[in-house]
Amino acid sequence: MSSSGLRRLEDLLIPLEEIRLATKNFSEETLIGGDGLNRVYKGQFTERLQNYTAAVKRFSSYNYQKEGFFNELNVISRFHHENIISLIGYCNEDTKRIIVSEYAANGTLDTKRIIVSEYAANGTLGDHLEDPNKLLSLTWPQRLKICLGAAKAINYLHLGLKDCVVIHRDIKSDAIWLDENLEAKISSFEVSVVGDGNQQHIYERIAGTEYYIDPIYRESGILKKEADVYSFGVVMFELLTGTLARNEMKIGDDKPLPLINLVRRYYNIDGLDTLIDRQIRDQIVRRSLDTFKETAYRCISYNLNDRPSMDRIVKRITEALDIHNHAAASTIAIRCHLHQNLENPLIPLEEIRLATGNFSDESKIPNTRVYKGQLSGRWGNRTAAFQRHNPKYDEAEFRNELQMMSNLRHENIIQLIGYCDEEGEMIIIYDYAVNGSLESHLEDESQTRCLTWAQRLKICIGAARGLKHLQASHGENKILVHRNFNGGNILLDDNMEPLICGLGVSIVVNRNTGQVHSIPVGPDYYIDPIYRESGIIKSETDVYSLGVVLFEMLTGMLAYYGSEEPQFLINLVRRYSYDDGVVKLIDPHIKDQIDIHSFLIFKEIASKCISLNLKDRPSLNRIIKRIEEALRVQEQGDASTIATRSQLRRQDKKLEDFRIPLDEIRLATRDFSEKIGEGGFGVVYKGQSSKSWQNCTVAIKRLNPEGHQGNNEFKNELNTMFRFHHQNIINFLGFCDEDNEMIIVNEYVSNGSLEDYLADVLNKKRRSLTWVERLRICIGAAMGLDYLHWGLGENNRSDVYSLGVVLFEMLTGLLAYYEKAIEKGDEPQFLINLVRRYFDDGLDMLVDRSIKDEMDRRSFHTFKYVAYACISLNSNDRPTIDTIIDRLEEALEFQMLGENPCPLGEQLEPEATAKVTGDGSDRGSRENPCPLGEQLEPEATAKVTGDGSDRGSSVAGVSRSFESKGCRGCGVGSKATQEINDRHGLRVK
């Protein structure tokens, strides 16, 4: 088969008579599979087709099967890869559509949506998982090799074709065939999609197989390569557990659940070991297992940005296989009980002396007590780093680090190999990080200039993920605090992936109360000043240090270097933050490549990390999601370097640069003829600007000179709006103060206000808002408020109350100023009065009927608790915006997962309770937050406008422009946009 491009399909035509002869006229004795619509036969062809034994799939006459036939033919004819099934030929005579491909001797064929493939000698992977005798023959290394082959095939589909990308859409164990050598071969391309590399596809009819379909794709209809990654992650867990995804399993007395539901429930509490196939438990090397399961778990993440590329998956599975092969002589048994701590091996001092040349100067890493060396074959000939501790001063740190590291396995934490404690030597042995430390890169300008902004963001994301894993490694009620987090303890592997090390002074403390430590430890310039003053250790201690590292990455400056004596980095950051001058500190090596929106997102979250108010510091979940967003924005903007530069120059523009001539505004509005809203402030008009001025549809707010907003208020609003740059803030375009006019020009929002949707008497608009859409709108609005508070340098808890009112409006479908009686004989009451009355017993009676049947019970409870905390009459009890966003995203995660649909009347299970405490901090167990509200950006984005004040949905505008529904658009693609207009109560018509 040629690899030099597409084969001509005409050359692959096989006469119908030849196929009849090969299959004995489609006799029952040659039938090997079928699904009621399509039938598959074994065929023995003549010399003309090289005596091939082949599988022949005969399609039904239904129209959609005809589409599947031509789609499969078009897709599979493009391929030439050792891990993809081969096409032999096809027939399209006498209305019979047949595809012929290579045949294998054994196994069954799932033909529900599968184009016949090279039916390999050992059948499908699904056959093996279903048959205990076949499963018994699959060892751990064989399973790794099967995964590796399948991953290579999918990677080829995603990256290996020059002119296109293929998304399979139906990856599953029954689509993976095994040849006589148990080599994997991918089949089933009936519903595959061929497209441009940067294209995303939107489909109303979701294709795939239940239990393997990406829930994000299922919910949104948006198809990306990550959908295949999710499905492959399911297959990985099938191989690990020895069970098909559709089979239910149970642990202990818990109720049976499908495989992936069990994985999500037990992954972070060490229960996953009990799910591992008993046949391979005694074969698995722990590090091989950890590498494999961590990769598989990232594949099924609800955050698209967390999912690794197939190229990365290939590397990680290869690594797991190499680890197994190197350590095959010293395998370990994985026991079934929880919280099993495996001892790391003692490595003799003589071995270490041999590996390091007796601690020679040549093997020593400069300015450290670490040596590079090569271990012998007993330890897999691994290149390792040997960290020597001074027994006189460092014994406590040595023992502490060993204890902490023995329980930690994560791709962003350095891997412990072993230790030595003999003859007065105390040595810890780790994997060697090829690219040294992050600190060394920032110290050396030649290395710093090689770090692109995208690379820096990826390093920050990995470091934050490692820190998150550290903190969560001791269960729900304890956290591990690093206390020495800095660039010197962030190592970089050969792929520039960050690896956290240096846990000698780390400590485990109570999650809720922290711990007082009399002598604060940690490096100057990175140590949290609150911890330094009080001695109180909390999770926020590490968050501060992470914030310092984030600013080091942005500026290219180490925290202890100052460009303006005696101003060190964080002093400079604080000095320039007040006038948006941080842009002046951006590393010159990346200033021309950085996207302004990426910069603003990053700066905002980094600034929160170093806040001197603990409550303002974000959770690590939030940090990860925001930096991922900054990376996504940066990568989307990479195609336009010129635009990026002009965006950065906008930072240097003055408000005067946005003045628009009055004649231009009169022309755009046809002399103020199309009114779309009004209030005490004046009137809002719709306008179309000319080509000389952005050429877009705009909303023009013309203030009433006799109204309550005067010139001072007008200027204040201008200065405020001019400072905002955020996807959830309405875009400020310009202003006019000519001839005593006071006009503000903003982005136009096409679909009116949220109030319009909730107040629709015919209920058509309100009913069109699903629970998932409402959650996304709430998340977007909260993110806009979050930015406003930080943009204004304050944290306004009165806004939190108002946001809580809007949350209950979304839940109930009732506007806050409507009165309603719930029970017969009661006096009608306003919404919030009803909420307070029925919250503890009967809130479900208030839930909007149009969404009640679709709501997940845990999603409902998570939402209602955070909404109720927002409207607390004690402002100090109201949660921070960060906490609100985390809770809303958790509610969205539960809804997407959909394990526990309503009835809402059931009591909330204790483990599902989302708790918000008086200080707004998180007391629940949130091992796997779901940032779907961010990543499904093409469907829903919320925007906040005006000065950030909130009056409920009466000032909330929503622009929903779904491409598939043909709604009138405003240049935002398929985004559903909510905007809170301003404090004056604009109601858009």
Question: Measured between alpha carbons, how far is 541 from 481 in angstroms, rounded to an integer?
Answer: 7
Question: Measured between alpha carbons, how far is 208 from 185 in angstroms, rounded to an integer?
Answer: 18
Q: Are 174 and 124 in contact (CB under 8 A)?
A: yes
Q: Are 919 and 956 in contact (CB under 8 A)?
A: no
Tokens of 852: 């009640």
Q: Are 620 and 670 in contact (CB under 8 A)?
A: no
Beta bridge partners of 373: 384
Q: Per-residue DSSP letters for 798-860?
A: HHHHHHHHHHHHHHHS--TT-EE--STTPPPEEHHHHHHHHTTTTGGGGS-HHHHTT-BHHHH
CA 433 to centroid of chain Cα atoms: 26
Closest among 847, 933, 844, 845 to 886, alpha carbons compared: 933
364 carries a ligand binding annotation: no
Question: Measured between alpha carbons, how far is 734 from 660 in angstroms, rounded to an integer?
Answer: 6
Q: Are 489 and 501 in contact (CB under 8 A)?
A: yes
Question: What 3-state class would DSSP assign to 512?
Answer: coil
Q: Give first-to-last CA distance, the chain, whole Å.
A: 63
Beta bridge partners of 58: 39, 98
Question: Measured between alpha carbons, how far is 610 from 790 in angstroms, rounded to an integer?
Answer: 13
- What's the CA dihedral at 228, 233, 235, 239 to 10 degrees? 160
Q: 84: which residues sit within 8 A by CB, 6+ positions away?
A: 76, 153, 156, 157, 185, 186, 187
Q: Per-residue DSSP letters for 918-953?
A: TTS-B-S--SS---HHHHTTTT-EEEE-TTS--BTB
The CB-side HSE value for 524 (13 A sphere, CA atoms) comes to 3
Closest among 73, 95, 235, 59 to 153, alpha carbons compared: 235
Tokens of 362: 């040549």
Binding residues for ATP: 701
Binding residues: 701
